[in-house]
Structure 1
């Protein structure tokens, strides 16, 4: 189950310190077979905020839980009003140097795969293939009654039509695409039902309090088993959905390498933690490997495939 995050996490004093030496990560990539596990920190340079980093959204925002969403019509109205406004910004985000570096490592055959905790689709937009979206994708919508899926772009058009003139000013944007709006700002927002059966629509993401589908977890476990090492990029590893793969790798004797500016819950399991911003760190590693980091054809445009 993806548990609701706490407002803060204080690392133990005995955690190993971070380093600015990227060579251990470069060496692992040279050897190949590296499995990437990415978190919100890799997308901050694309304008999508982190939960727990400096200025993280948890200081002002608690994410919607699955139980709230399915059990309270007012909670769903609040979610879709805030999410509709947030999608206008979230949906325009483009991959940054970190996403492009991961895609370049994949194109050069250095990776065993990519698992992301993010729901933004930016790894795929940068050109990474076969990405496992652990928590789903905001670019897709699913009906809780009939299971029909549509793109978020399609739903946005229906919501625009149902809520002409909805132009509130948000206080901020959160990593789940949720804009900060007051109850008064969302009171008159109209939620649209499934176009096929009239059921309740939900973004195709794993809410807090909801379990990651077991087949997806098993696919990730198999990727860990087949990898030479695990490279964690931009995740605090506070929730078990990502930390379990770090623990699995450690139990199997596979090195765990972390690139994250701040301490993480997985540091005690890692061979090293590079305490640098993702974009500059991965760019430096790509330079050492002689791998150009460039935008793929199409200008990093994200698809909303269903």
Structure 2
């Protein structure tokens, strides 16, 4: 406990200097009821994410995805920001942050009061047409899917990290998929699927945020995939102090100036309280 208190105090001192860039991952949203991929043990959960190649090439897999995602969206849409999200919003309000890079697609940073958020992997509350590129609100698609599947009887179970639920092939077989109202093209959540690359301009924006910051604070990410870890590597090369707050080990623990394994909501609330002004 003494070690935790010392680490929290060190984190407060670091953030209090200002110029801090936040990099957040799925572990920040678990207290809002959205599971992460690995959990505190670091062992990957069984959820198998959809790949871009499968989604675009396999109509049956795409129908199964939309059936699962349609049911899971209700949980994502109802999720509320937790103490950690609110704390990040307060720290931004105090002028201590240069920005927030999030690997999450749940929109909870913005709901928690943060404005300067770069959604590295996109957002589930938007839908994009792969043919014409038109963006639309997920709520609109949800209503259309609800109308097209008025008699659909499958029941949602626990939501997965991608915002979908587990269904058998038989449960998904009768689901009706709808297409773009403008051109009839395939619709996809405006998120980066596995096998898809993050837009280059978005990545460049994130690197620019790292380079203009005085410190990097990682919240709730195991940093297993390079998509987010590359910004930690860049910060280390620039000699920036790096704080990692996560439940369980991360791939970049060796690069951390401050390493804190503790519940994020409590830690961040404490930091925001210490720096309330």
TM-score (normalised: structure 1): 0.87
* Cα shift at 1:25: 1.2
Match of 1:101 in 2: 87
* Cα shift at 1:56: 8.4
Question: Does residue 202 of structure 2 align to residue 250 of structure 1?
Answer: no
Match of 1:295 in 2: none
CA deviation profile, 1:142-186 (whole Å, cap 9, x unmatched): 000000111000000000000012232234211211111111110
Q: Give, in whole Å, the separation in 1 of the partners of 2:42 and 2:237.
A: 31
* Cα shift at 1:285: 1.1
Change (3 A) 1:232 1:206: same
| Secondary structure in 2 matching 1:22 | helix
What 5-or-longer segments of structure 1 have no aligned partner?
1-17, 292-306
TM-score (normalised: structure 2): 0.96
Match of 2:191 in 1: 205
Q: Give, in whole Å, the separation in 2 of the partners of 1:54 and 1:268.
A: 18
Match of 2:118 in 1: 132
For 1:285, which of 245, 248, 271 is the aligned residue?
271
Tell me if structure 2 keeps the 8 A contact 1:163–1:189. yes
Match of 2:182 in 1: 196
- How many correspondences in the alignment? 274
For 1:274, which of 240, 260, 264 is the aligned residue?
260
Q: Give, in whole Å, the separation in 2 of the partners of 1:40 and 1:153.
A: 23
Q: Give, in whole Å, the separation in 1 of the partners of 2:153 and 2:238.
A: 52
| Secondary structure in 1 matching 2:150 | coil
Match of 1:226 in 2: 212
CA deviation profile, 1:194-251 (whole Å, cap 9, x unmatched): 0000000000000011000000000000000000010000000001000000000000
Q: Give, in whole Å, the separation in 2 of the partners of 1:187 and 1:58.
A: 28
Q: Give, in whole Å, the separation in 2 of the partners of 1:60 and 1:70.
A: 23
Question: Does residue 159 of structure 2 align to residue 164 of structure 1?
Answer: no
| Secondary structure in 2 matching 1:174 | coil
Question: Does residue 251 of structure 2 align to residue 265 of structure 1?
Answer: yes
* Cα shift at 1:19: 4.6
Q: Give, in whole Å, the separation in 2 of the partners of 1:55 and 1:121.
A: 26
Q: Give, in whole Å, the separation in 2 of the partners of 1:264 and 1:128.
A: 25
| Secondary structure in 2 matching 1:236 | coil
Tell me if structure 2 keeps the 8 A contact 1:57–1:175. no
What 5-or-longer segments of structure 2 have no aligned partner?
none
Match of 2:17 in 1: 31
* Cα shift at 1:284: 1.2
For 2:162, which of 167, 170, 176 is the aligned residue?
176
Q: Give, in whole Å, the separation in 2 of the partners of 1:175 and 1:41.
A: 10
